[in-house]
Structure 1
Amino acid sequence: MASIRPFQKKAGSLFFKLLISFIVIILLPVSFNFVSYAFFRSNLEGKLIENNTVVTDTTVKHYEDQIRTIKNFTFTQYLKVNASIVNWNKVRGIDYVAVTQLRNELQAYLTNPSLYLHNMIFVLNRLDLAIDKDGSASLHDMFDKFYANPTYNYEFWQQEIRRDNGFTMYPSSEFSLKAMDVQKNSPNVMPLLFSSDNKNIAIIALLDNDKMVEEFYKNASPGNKLLILNEKKAVIYTSDRSFAISLPSLESNKGYMKAGAQYIFYQKGALSGFTYVNVIPTANIDSQISRLNLILASILVVSLLLSVAASIFFSMRLNNPIRKIIESIGQRNTAIPQQSQIKEFNLISEKINDLIRTNLVIHQDLDRQSSLLKHYAYTNKFKNIRGYAKEASIPPDIDKPFILLGFQLLFRSRLQTEMDIAQDKAANLFKEFIHADLTGAFEESVTFQIENDIILSLIFLEEEGPAHVDFFLRRWKQVFDLDREYCLVTISVSDRYGDSSKFSAAYNQILHLLRGRRPGDDTQIMTEVVPKDPVYFDQEEERVFYANLDKGNASEIIQIVKRRLHQLDRKGASLQHLHEYAREVIRKVHLASGKHIGGREFAEISQTSPYESVRECFTLEQMERYLEWFLQMELAFIRKKSEESDPIIDFATDYINSHLGDDITLEVVADKLGITGTYLSSYFKNKKGVNFSDYISNVRMRKAQELLATTDLKVLDIASMVGYYSVNAFIRTFKKYTGVPPGEYRKVNAD
């Protein structure tokens, strides 16, 4: 009996009860694993077939959804191109600005990885023009030179376009691409043609098959092959081009069969009519069955051993610290009631209840703080919002229809000189006025100043909201025009959006509209985005500009600038575009004159820099008057410098012009003049207003522009002729100088 008592005592301990409980609990999943192992062993092949059926279904769904997306996207692009063609007919010719815009938009779309598009070609038969992401070319050049394929040549596409209307997909293939005299092959792409009754317009989308397979067929096992058959059961794509198989007759729309050493799973797409075939070698399934048998048996044995060991380990780990904690607690409080045969559980239960109550209080506090954060997160939707961010009444539920109003303030210098009012104070007055005006009609409206010159008003709309907004726009224009001698205001109105997830879209729309302000000295309400990226200097105009600039011919330069200003204005250029053009003119003149902004030369004739003066020009007439004055002053200075004959400068410039292809250094020219390189560097900079190396680079880039526009020489040859032995260095310098690489510069000038 004495030997039994210690065992009975241990049997009632926490350790023993935990150990027995763990073992009992573990035996249940172990027995379940054993039964599962026996079941799956007999049904494994069926499960693998079911799994490959699911893989086939998933692949078909992804492909059909992608084809639907591409068709919708292609049709949308067709409508855009068709609209552009109508506009081109009105102006009797090709609008190359519109061509560039179409290409830029296409480049942006093709960066979307979810489209899986390698390229898209707009075919304009009547204009003999094809447009893709890299530019435009004639139809023959596009399909026989830049995108060449023995099957998909110019005659093939013309024949297909004249056939039935709608969408047609063709077998995948590779194309030979040519760009900047470099020949390379495209990925494996599948052409999709869309044509309509208007045979003058068609669109060819090139789907990147390899990327689609990588995404849509990623759940397939290694060694599986995917084939796509058209309506005539001809193979138009295979994931492994070296794989060949003779497919049996596939009569039904969906199913699987075993043919020779392969399992064949197939399904017909409801939208495309294509048949997708998933080919799995039987060896793959056999190896998977063997591997899974081994894995299941190993898991069963290992799990049993680990479970017993873990039961003992965790029982000891749980019992020892709890026993010590209970001993210390029992010493301080012996009046704890016994509610269970294991006193440790009673004490732990009480402590856990205390922790739960504490945790509940913490969570309630966090919920309140989370609600407060959600309340104020609304104010951080737009950049670093100032103004009413602290005191504004923010509605808790912000998922309501809304519009966004944008106000851009263009302050004149006389605001400070005549009224003695700082711009930030004036901006705050505008913000207060707008806020007070809107609060009466829209209780939940909030007005923010997000930049020094930009104010936003957020208005939550009811059914009659837009009509009220139109009233305020007319009223604000009348009020703001009263102060146009001191500040010009541009107002933009976003579309109506359904919920707060569209804040970013509304904000971007407002900024685009504000940038479209036209020249004028009144309050403007912007509703349309102006054309992007106007051409400031074409190649011939730039050549004439520099030629007259070097001679100091003010009258010719002024006529060129005025003519370009009027041309930009006729094309609807914004005030920002005119300012950019004016700054570019000033920059070119500064390079020629050698003056520095803010230097002593400008201080003698004006208290403000030319760039600051341009910002004060808000109308076309003001811009013309200022640039005419500026050019007369600067060209007189350049003319005076050019009339001063200098043998050192003349020798240096003549040597540079006649040795562009050589390695021209400061030391070489200085040695020929019999002076030091340091003296020549400072002397040249003082006389020409530009560093010696920068002058050489400018001369070389002008010569390269001339050769690209007037000859068919290769870029490599032109680089060598102007002194660049690395074509990559030449391309980088040329792009920095002109904004575009040599190949595109030649193509634009050729077009």
Structure 2
Amino acid sequence: MDETDFIRYTGTKAIRSETGVIDVKGRIRWNGRSLFAKLLLGFLVVIFISFAFNLLAYHFFYGQMRGQLIRSGTMGLSKTVDGYEKQLRQLDDLLTRYYFDNAVAALKKGSIDSDFPIVNDLAEEFKTIAGHYNLDLENVFIYFKNEGFVIDKNGFARTDDMFGKYYASREYGPAFWEKQFAEDFHLRAFPVAEFKRFRYDAAGPDGGRYFPVIVKSRIGSQFYAGALVDADRMFSGLAQTSGHAFTILGADGAPFYRTGAAGDALPKLPAGSSFVRHADSYYFYQTGPVSGLTYVSIVPYSSIAAQLSKLNALLLTLFAISVLVSVVISVLLSARFKHPVQRIVEALRQMNPAIRHRSSIAEFNVISESLEHMFRSIRRKDSLLQKYGYLDKIKSVPPIDTEAQPPAGADRPFHFVMMHIHYTREDGLAGGGDAARAANVLECVNAEWSRAFPDSVTMPIEKDRLLTIVFSDTDVSGTVAGMLDSFKAAFDRDKALYRLTIACEPRLWQPSEFTAAYESAAEMMRRRRLNDETQVIATPGAPGPIAVWTPDEERGFAAHLEAGSEAQLLALLRGAMQRLARCDAAAWQYRQFAGDLLSKLLMALMAHRIDTSLLAGARAPSPYDEIESFVSAEQYESFFERVARQAAALIREKREARDPIVDFVVRFIETHYGEDIYQDLIADRLNISTGYLRNYFKEKTGQNLSDYLNEYRIGKAKQMLEGTEDKIQDIAAKVGYQNANSFTRMFRRLTGVTPGEYRRECLVNSTE
């Protein structure tokens, strides 16, 4: 029945609605072609299909629960067993190769007293294996029967000490380990036991639960390789399920390892089956092909079944409620959906945001508000494009878009003001990002300039810089200066939060000088002095360069740093600070010198392979960040003294931390540097080969032996050139160079000047 038929039939005026046709008395007649009817029918079909599907899924899930539990338990145990067996195979391969190792063979034939380098190499290798191999190892060792000693990751130990003190166990005493030489096997893992390890640096013994693994070979019948495996750590890394009991049985059926609430007596496994149900639990069995161990995983069934039953009951209840609620919501949504859609379509057709209809449908309200925001965004776009036009004009960038142009009134004389905001660490600790803080400052500054000069433009050009352009046909530098003074008074009250630098040259710039004004203000920023106040800079130009150090002081600093001479370093730094003070250096010149100095210190530490993070300590995340917060020469001087002392101490400790071989070489060179020194001679004194000495010295010091000898000799020669009047050829002979030309070439290579030039520079500096 359409609307005409309805009016003809009732004799009353009718109106259309979401549910069909409604007469003036409010009676509703069903219209199967309406949007309401189609939506409601669609909802009901979806609800019915969902109900039928979930009902079938419930029955299927309940029937598959037991089978899934068995498959999950079998698969989890299989993965655990594969993990155990794989690690035992890896351990077998790892320990077997020591029967073919030349170092072990040489150690068998030699004496432990003379083969300590081999012992140390093996100990380091065992330590690497125990620490980095993914085998959950506590220790790796080789037991030599005839010699009666053991080599493990800690080095050399007698058998009684190894298994009676360091790794003591009631089940595995020294007699057990010696007995294994008489047993016939290749690889055997023994049950887990408690090991106590007595340490001299602790109040009492510590230890853990380990199981021994021994690998033997007829090739090495006088020794065997073994390992102690951390049983609990191995299980935690390989177990596929947590909270279930787990047991490992040996080949003889005796308990090997046990965790969780596993009983002493396990049920017998039926023939041809891999699991058995006993006492409301499932017991899954599997035997390892490598170790012969039997792995048993115990999964409780009763608690899982009870929880699933409760879950199923809850799901059915919730599903019934959801069906009822879905039907009610379907009716309501169908009735309320058609009219908002019609309003949205009408608004889009007319592109008129005034067509608003407040609705309970959030998406419709969002679309209506978005139409209003669209027009506001178009208006804001013009303002942003104008600011982009100013930036392009300031930095001489040709505009790509014709819309990104300054307004017509921009071709007028102007005053140029640049502000740099440096946020302090206290402001960072107060919370909030730099972007939010910069927005607050921009809003405040823009409001003041707009109030005094309505045609002015204030905008950010970088994350910490603001730019204000004051357009005026006449020179208003006095008014601008007064406003800058008021800015200084206002911002000085918040100097604990940030430091403000304002650059404004008191002149009226012409429209063609946008780029020149920007470059001039950027240079003026470098004139800021060391203090924590707001500074207004009106003098154009950047400060002149300052030669803080002479080339000789640069070389002296490097030499004193290399020697770890703290007093000389501090004297040079104090002189540099005095020179900066005499030259009335700007803040950026202090920062530049501090950055250069910090780079020299870090490069020196890296050359000595010292961790550079030790230079920062706990004072700041980075020394470079710390420099940015300084506002006085005293802070820089304190910082220089601290980092110089730290760097000198670290280098000095690095140079002093030498072993006996390096100490012997250094003392021999210091004592005989004036004689003919050959590497073969030093190697003979140490009873080692020349190649071994050369490689060892390079590894321990990071420097070739010949380079160290030449640097030491040239250092002594520099002292003689400074403190004596001896001839250069005599000095060359005294420091071990029989040929004066060879001495001169080496001196120039290491210092950059000849011996004569070096002596003249020293004389000139002393007269100054």
TM-score (norm 1): 0.44
Larger Rg: 2
TM-score (norm 2): 0.43
